[in-house]
Chain A
Amino acid sequence: MSTLRYRRYDTVYLGAIGIIGALLVWELAARLRLADPVLISSPMLVAGALRGWAVSGALWRDLGTTLYELVIAIGASALVGIPLGVIMGWNRPAEYALDPFIWLLYSTPLVSFWPLFIIWLGIGANAIIALAFLFSIVQIVINTMVGVKGIDPVLVRCARSFNARAVDLFFKVTLPGALPMIVAGLRLALGRALIGVIVGELFSSNAGLGFHISFYGTRLQFADVFAGLFVIVIVGVGMSQAIRLLESRLVRWKS
């Protein structure tokens, strides 16, 4: 049996065929009333809803709100999480002291903190950012810690044999060595932060992509709900592609 070899563009183009096929089935199912068109809407209706949303200007406001919350949350996670991870990776006692909190954050359904955030921070962006921050920080801390711990000891020995100062050891050996893990952690954290933001907006807010979905969901306008989902997918894919790009630029040295 001969093996077919696929080239890179084949995957793109076969993937596109898959998506177009699914959209076609969906459209037909709605037109032929194979399922209730009110519930499943249809690609044409979703496109219409998307256009209306964009033309009214509300799309840009919602998208801006969501992106703002996402960027602040992930930025705060990185700002707090990377130093924490470095400390935990460098210092055993610090690791053991902080470990319980990491596991607490990792294993608790963080959504249960929501009522508290609402009371402490009020309905709106602040509570949402807090939730997304908690969602995403663990991934960054853990990855940074593992990255720092994984530095090849012979590299440290080498730097020390040249009498390296502690600052140099950190900036020239530890940090660059841990960088691939840190960036990978950022990519995972971004996905979790997006979940945090959308969940927060779904629960209680007056702007954002999640708000758009819950607003039209309760009014049974599913074309608008699907339009909201579509934009969220675009945001998620776009962000993780951006980090991938950053990754490939930063770790060109990896074979």
Chain B
Amino acid sequence: MLHIELKQIRVTFPQPEGGELLAVDRFDLQVQRGEFVTIVGPSGCGKSTLLSVVDGLVRSSSGQVHVEGMLVTGPGPDRALVFQEFALLPWRTVEGNIGLGLELQHKLSSRRIKELVLHYINMVGLQGFERHYPYQLSGGMRQRVGIARALAVNPEILLMDEPFAALDAQTREIMSVELLRIWEQDKKTVLFITHSIDESVYLADRVVVMSSRPGRVKEIIQVGLPRPRGLAIKDAPEFVRLRRHIWDLLEEEVRRQVDGKEDRA
């Protein structure tokens, strides 16, 4: 069943010196309900912008996003964002941060919020850290809070903007395993931005490879690897083949970008 539909998305940003920067152009994508879609692309290709458009924080210059057939005009309770920079309120404890989205929605009593927060603390494995402030947590734990906060509002769609990019390599691996474990529980629709090819294949049902700026769909790759997946799957011949293929696609783009930069310098 079709869940998210992006039609001919085009995003431009006005430049300080005048003129416009074309960030995303003619972007088409259809995401099925319960599907895990990752988007990889060279840095600066507009993938984060694209996610903000789906969330409704940024308006596309033309084209439309439909969620369940409804036109997206702004943020809604059916979608929740997870940020690369975690975006935790430093003056709130783990509990307070996880409850933020629920509080801002003004739909539940504070007692009900507390119960839900407890549930999600357990889900992301932060028992015992309820009263800790963000500065007392490691990067991986902070992003667990970010994920729990997004899950707590029970969205139908999880939008993840390079959520593990600020973590070290080992923590990153562990977090992607954890994310799949959580996702397997209720299979929300996920749109996950990353620049890690490994991560994109490991997590996804489908990988969208973007071109360098302006960001367009270069190719969409079906990942047929069986679930649930352990880290060992990264050694499977099929995984290696997909990784190779995506790298070949990206290499072209990255080279073009790097050469372009050198031309200008």
A contact residues vs B (CB 8 Å cutoff): 152, 154-155, 157-165, 168, 172-173, 176-177, 179, 251-255
> B97-149: which residues lie under 8 A (CB-CB) from chain A?
100-101, 103-106, 133-136
Contact A155 B89, CB 8 Å, known A160-B57, A163-B74, A163-B75: yes
Contact of A163 among B89, B105, B134 (CB under 8 A): B105
Is the C-beta of B76 less than 8 angstroms from some C-beta in chain A?
yes
Q: Which of B7-15, B38-46, B80-88, B218-226 forms contacts with chain A?
A: B80-88
CB contacts (< 8 Å) of B74 on chain A: these are 163
A158 touches B83 (CB 8 A): yes
Give the distance in Å from the alpha carbon of A104 to the alpha carbon of B245 in the complex.
66
A154 touches B85 (CB 8 A): yes
B135 touches A161 (CB 8 A): no
Contact of A254 among B57, B80, B81, B135 (CB under 8 A): B135
A161-B80, A172-B89, A176-B89 known; 4 new pairs, CB 8 Å cut-off, are A154-B83, A158-B100, A163-B74, A163-B75
Contact of B104 among A152, A157, A172, A179 (CB under 8 A): A172
Is the C-beta of B4 less than 8 angstroms from some C-beta in chain A?
no
27 contacts between A and B (CB under 8 A): A152-B87, A154-B83, A154-B85, A154-B87, A157-B57, A158-B81, A159-B100, A160-B75, A161-B80, A161-B81, A162-B75, A162-B104, A162-B105, A163-B77, A163-B104, A163-B105, A164-B104, A165-B104, A168-B103, A168-B104, A172-B89, A172-B103, A172-B104, A173-B89, A177-B89, A177-B91, A253-B90
Nearest CB of B to A242, in Å: 21
Contact of A253 among B55, B91, B153 (CB under 8 A): B91
Q: How many residues of B contact A (CB 8 A)?
A: 26
Most buried by B among A162, A168, A252: A162
CB contacts (< 8 Å) of A163 on chain B: these are 74-77, 104-105
The 6 lowest CB-CB distance pairs between A and B, nearest first, are A255-B135, A158-B87, A162-B104, A253-B133, A253-B91, A162-B101
CB contacts (< 8 Å) of A177 on chain B: these are 89, 91
- Judged by DSSP, the binding face of A is helix
CB contacts (< 8 Å) of A172 on chain B: these are 89, 100, 103-104
Contact A253 B87, CB 8 Å, known A161-B80, A162-B75, A162-B101: no
Closest residue of A by beta carbon distance from B55: A161
CB contacts (< 8 Å) of B55 on chain A: these are 161
Give the distance in Å from the alpha carbon of A92 to the alpha carbon of B89 in the complex.
25
B104 touches A159 (CB 8 A): yes
Closest residue of A by beta carbon distance from B81: A161
Nearest CB of A to B246, in Å: 29
CB contacts (< 8 Å) of B104 on chain A: these are 159, 162-165, 168, 172
B91 touches A162 (CB 8 A): no
Nearest CB of B to A137, in Å: 26
Contact A176 B91, CB 8 Å, known A157-B57, A162-B100, A162-B105: yes
A157 touches B87 (CB 8 A): yes
Give the distance in Å from the alpha carbon of A101 to the alpha carbon of B172 in the complex.
52
Give the distance in Å from the alpha carbon of A253 to the alpha carbon of B89 in the complex.
10
Closest residue of B by beta carbon distance from A255: B135
Give the distance in Å from the alpha carbon of A237 to the alpha carbon of B6 in the complex.
63
Give the distance in Å from the alpha carbon of A179 to the alpha carbon of B77 in the complex.
29
Nearest CB of B to A248, in Å: 14
Nearest CB of B to A29, in Å: 51
> B63-97: which residues lie under 8 A (CB-CB) from chain A?
74-77, 80-81, 83, 85, 87, 89-92
B89 touches A161 (CB 8 A): no
Contact of B57 among A155, A161, A168, A179 (CB under 8 A): A161
B87 touches A155 (CB 8 A): yes
B153 touches A162 (CB 8 A): yes
CB contacts (< 8 Å) of B133 on chain A: these are 252-253
CB contacts (< 8 Å) of A173 on chain B: these are 89
Give the distance in Å from the alpha carbon of A172 to the alpha carbon of B103 in the complex.
10
Give the distance in Å from the alpha carbon of A5 to the alpha carbon of B91 in the complex.
33
Give the distance in Å from the alpha carbon of A254 to the alpha carbon of B134 in the complex.
9
Closest residue of A by beta carbon distance from B153: A162
Give the distance in Å from the alpha carbon of A173 to the alpha carbon of B92 in the complex.
10
The interface bits of chain B over 151-177 (1 if a CB of A lies within 8 angstroms of the residue's CB, else 0) are 001000000000000000000000000
Give the distance in Å from the alpha carbon of A136 to the alpha carbon of B257 in the complex.
54
Give the distance in Å from the alpha carbon of A46 to the alpha carbon of B75 in the complex.
69
